[in-house]
Structure 1
């Protein structure tokens, strides 16, 4: 069984060294275990080159069976965990940076008080993560549709609002229609060439308009865009959860409130986890806690 689980990890991660790092072994030990497995089965499972690994035909069939066995073993362990008196252990959760800082991080202290035997590692990362290769328990992704192959639970609707300071609007005028934005200084995402093309939909009529914007400040982080809006540099697109406090304090105001920005980073925040029937209690506790807390949040 140990050799088979090592084989599964090597194939999932695509290299001996990556598998060794996750398993706490040396690359040479992983190589020996793979050689022992091939010797025991009298078949070659992997074709090795200097650049990558490739399953042989028989290796692909053996991998599928070994994967089933490893999943079954995990399920047995998770059944046992269900009967632990209370959730315990470390939960590794990856979250987009701005959402993690503004929404998730403030909720963690209360969770830790409620579950004194559970620890949380909060990983703020805007790059796409993978539960297996990145050794995560849970991850949050903002998207219209959660990815296939993972269990998903919706946490919160994510909207953008267009905002500016009163000072900027007094100097430049208030846009009354999306087309007016082309004459304003706009603060946009700037990760891809198309990020300066804002797609807006009227909240009532459903009319859609795309407008090309320009400005002197561009940033791929919503906190930086908020700071630029507060510094009177123009009209910024901001997730509502980033802008909410400044709006409530009347430091900035919403513009074109009848229009919804629909270009990027909108939809729902989903918490994703492996589609196992027996989710560890520590993960279930955090999922339920976040879902309960965020169901009370209000959208703009």
Structure 2
């Protein structure tokens, strides 16, 4: 009589084996499953060890099923088909979005961009609970048991499904009161004469880089105040402590209200925190309803946010300063 516990313990390995056969390689299967190639290799090896037979003939260029592998593959494919049928039944019986969502988001984006939309989401979907993990460190979806992650990058990982939510651009700005004490800034090198408010987590945070046409200029700045929190730097700039580096999504309202003025608007300020904010999740043919509705809701909500223009027009303050030269 078959050992039921043993067969249940091999269900994951069987599914991985089917993916390897159908994609043609460990790396392709890993991409499809959202895991590492080494993890896929270990799963197939465990299956072969438990069955006490070799299933795949490995060459330097491709994988080939042997006779035993053909027989095992057919049965494993039937097993996966049964699992997919169960999921289909589940969707038909209970299509209502429900359950817990664990989402990893960088602190500033979570606080200033995502959180404002969460009350309405929770009202629309009363059966979904959300746990937001506000962390700037790298999060592994599998190891950290999260459903979705938002990362700032220009190169989203190929083994994940991604939706670009918004472009993250940074600007430097200061209060009108601070700027009135100095001559107008027309070139990034003049920042050396100012007190700058910066991130302060690593030495390169003191190096501000600017692009204009074919020019790339990096300036070593200094200042009396550093803070690794966007809201703190924003408040410090409004209070007139100095010139701050800030993501545009955090500062556009203060600029519109006249509390802050963008400095050097004709130069593009670039940091390692510049790029697209991507919503990432493992590839999955059967995406749970709770994930579907959240992804659609957040994508639609953030699409309405203002994007930084190529260069903000000079403010009245700067025009007055230029005309007085």
TM bucket normalised to smaller: 0.7 to 0.9
Please give the per-residue CA displacement for 1:143-197, whole angstroms capped at 9, x wherever unaligned: 1111231110000111111110111111233321111111111111122211111
What aligned pairs does 1:98-137 form with structure 2 within 5 A after superposition? Answer: 98-137=108-147
> Match for residue 22 of structure 1?
none
Matches within 5 A, 1:70-89: 78-83=87-92, 84-89=94-99
Question: Structure 1 stretch 72-81 or stretch 217-226: which is displaced more?
Answer: 72-81
1:58 — aligned with what? none
User: Conserved in 2, the CA contact under 8 Å of 1:94 and 1:129?
Assistant: yes
> Does structure 2 conserve the Cα–Cα contact (< 8 Å) formed by 1:247 and 1:253?
yes
User: What residue is the counterpart of 2:161 in the other structure?
Assistant: 151
How many equivalent pairs are there?
A: 250
Q: Distance in 2 between matches of 1:81 and 1:285?
A: 17
Partner of 1:218: 226
* 2:67 corresponds to: none
Rg larger for: 2
| Aligned equivalents of 1:69, 1:261: Cα separation in 2 | 55
* Contact preservation (8 Å) 2:165, 2:303: yes
- Give the distance between the partners of 2:144 and 2:214, measured in 1 at CA: 40
For the aligned residues, what is the CA RMSD?
Answer: 2.9
CA deviation digits over 1:239-289, x for unaligned, max 9?
Answer: 011112222221111111111211221111100001112111100110011
Rate the CA distance shift 1:98–1:133 in 2: closer, same or farther, 3 A. Answer: same
Task: Specify which of 205, 216, 220 is matched with residue 208 of structure 1.
Answer: 216
Distance 1:283 1:241, change over 3 A: same
- The residue that corresponds to 1:181 in the other structure is 191
Matched, 1:252 2:242: no
Task: Give me the whole-angstrom Cα distance separating, in 1, the residues matched to 2:78 and 2:188.
Answer: 57
For the residue of structure 1 that corresponds to 2:180, the secondary structure is: helix
Determine the C-alpha separation between the residues in 2 that align with 1:171 and 1:207.
28
Normalised TM-score (structure 1): 0.75
User: Unmatched 5+ residue regions in structure 2?
Assistant: 1-6, 15-46, 54-72, 309-325
Runs of 5+ unmatched residues, structure 1: 9-36, 44-64
CA contact (8 A) 1:161 1:239 kept: yes
- Give the equivalent residue in structure 2 for 1:92: 102
Cα 1:86/1:228, change in 2 over 3 Å: same
CA contact (8 A) 1:81 1:280 kept: no
Q: Which residue of 1 aligns with 2:241?
A: 233
